């Protein structure tokens, strides 16, 4: 197996807890992703709070169906046709998928999550809601005529979050729906079947700056599954999974190696837990390692805990 260029995070599918602070999302005891992935940025009032967070060297596997969460729900009660897909419009990118709606049609949360942003008049988006989900994704719902949620509100998949309209720069009533990761938008049709109104993938793979969806068994068996939007680049998806698993095993082995003057970061570690374990202040750990309290700890990272 070829070596993993850069291992950032290994995500598994057991969803254990989801706090209202947006900074304590846990999967299999790994604290992810709001605090770790987003580097503690939470309450931004804009669609993009911080730029440059997405690394093209990052290889990630994001589960789309988390144990303990409600299943995916199509965001429109009125399951109308796509009127404008994701992609180029002239010389600019259309960053989402537009679904035709009638004025006042109910718009629903696609997955469980926390409302990061709710604004009645946000530039060309008009009425907008942004929800951050436990696996690190954010979904964006725009051109809403009415907003039914508030920032920091926890929502379940299928909860009413707003009403469809034609606010902002919309010229007709529709829902503009986006999927984003670390503030970078990608084609929602990579993971959602807009013809059959269900997930077409159970896992989102991110590698070399591109997004890939692993088909669900249902979509693989469906004769009319829409594959129009799939990225056609040849890639071995299972190789990504194998690399992530191998990287996790390597980091666990490092964590078990005795180090008298260093601590190897393992899953679930925080500066606070490390300071308690070695009876050393967080400030001293930061001084010894030339970091600050807001730095993200990576699994396998070596921290000096004494001179």
Could you tell me the residue range of the domain that residue 268 belongs to?
A: 261-304
The total of structural domains in the chain comes to 1
Q: What is the mean pLDDT of each run of 10 residues along the chain (307 residues)?
A: 32 31 33 56 81 78 74 96 94 96 98 94 96 91 98 94 97 97 94 96 88 63 34 44 56 52 85 86 88 84 85
Q: Can you say how many angstroms the Cα of residue 138 is from the centroid of all Cα atoms in its chain?
A: 5
Residue 133: both structure tokens together: 């989900």
Helix spans in 215-281 (H) = 217-221, 237-255, 271-278
Q: Is 146 within the bounds of a domain?
A: no
Q: Is 268 within the bounds of a domain?
A: yes
Q: Is 267 within the bounds of a domain?
A: yes
Q: Is 19 within the bounds of a domain?
A: no
SS3 label, residue 76: strand
The radius of gyration of the chain from alpha carbons, rounded to an integer in Å, stands at 21
Q: Is 111 within the bounds of a domain?
A: no
Give the whole-angstrom CA distance, residue 86 versus residue 167: 19
Looking at residue 208, its pLDDT comes to 84
Domain of residue 281, CATH code:
3.10.350.10
pLDDT tens for 200-222 read 988 898 888 899 987 554 443 33
Q: Is 179 within the bounds of a domain?
A: no
The continuous run of DSSP H or E covering 117 comes out as: strand 113-122
Looking at residue 224, its pLDDT comes to 34
Residue among 111, 120, 109, 138 at smallest CA distance from 42: 138
Q: Is 282 within the bounds of a domain?
A: yes
Looking at residue 50, its pLDDT comes to 80
How far is residue 187 from each of residues 77, 84, 124, 230, 303, measured CA to CA in Å?
21, 12, 19, 9, 38
Q: Is 69 within the bounds of a domain?
A: no
CA angle, residues 221, 208, 49, in degrees to nearest 5: 100
Give the whole-angstrom CA distance, residue 286 versus residue 304: 9
pLDDT tens for 176-199 read 999 999 899 999 999 999 999 999
Burial class from Cβ neighbours inside 10 Å (0-12, 13-18, 19+) for residue 276 reads exposed
Residue among 19, 206, 216, 214 at smallest CA distance from 112: 19
CA dihedral 172, 178, 184, 190 (to 10 degrees): -120
């Amino acid at each position: 197996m070829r070596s993993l260029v850069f291992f950032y995070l290994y995500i598994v599918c057991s969803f254990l807890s989801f706090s209202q602070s947006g900074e304590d999302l846990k999967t299999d005891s790994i604290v992810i992703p709001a605090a770790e992935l987003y580097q503690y940025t939470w309450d931004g009032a804009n669609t993009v709070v911080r730029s440059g967070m997405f690394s093209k060297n990052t290889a990630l596997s994001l589960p789309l169906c988390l144990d303990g969460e409600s299943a995916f729900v199509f965001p429109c009660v009125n399951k109308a046709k796509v009127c404008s897909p994701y992609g180029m419009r002239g010389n600019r990118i259309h960053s989402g998928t537009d679904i035709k709606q009638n004025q006042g049609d109910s718009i629903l949360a696609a997955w469980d999550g926390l409302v990061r942003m709710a604004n009645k008049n946000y530039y060309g988006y008009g009425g907008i809601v942004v929800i951050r989900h436990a696996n690190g994704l954010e979904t964006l719902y725009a051109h809403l005529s009415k907003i039914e949620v508030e920032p920091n509100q926890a929502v379940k998949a299928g909860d009413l979050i707003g009403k469809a309209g034609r606010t902002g720069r919309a010229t007709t009533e529709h829902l503009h729906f986006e999927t984003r990761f670390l503030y970078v938008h990608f084609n929602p049709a990579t993971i959602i079947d807009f013809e059959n109104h269900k997930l077409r993938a159970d896992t989102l793979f991110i590698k070399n700056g591109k997004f890939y969806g692993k088909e669900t068994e249902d979509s693989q068996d469906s004769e009319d599954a829409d594959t129009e939007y799939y990225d056609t680049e040849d890639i071995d998806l299972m190789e990504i999974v194998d690399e992530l698993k191998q990287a996790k095993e390597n980091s666990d082995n490092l964590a078990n190696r005795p180090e008298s003057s260093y601590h190897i970061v393992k899953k679930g570690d925080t500066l606070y837990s490390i300071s308690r374990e070695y009876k050393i202040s967080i400030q001293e750990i930061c001084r010894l390692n030339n970091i600050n309290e807001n730095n993200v700890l990576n699994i396998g990272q070596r921290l000096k805990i004494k001179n």
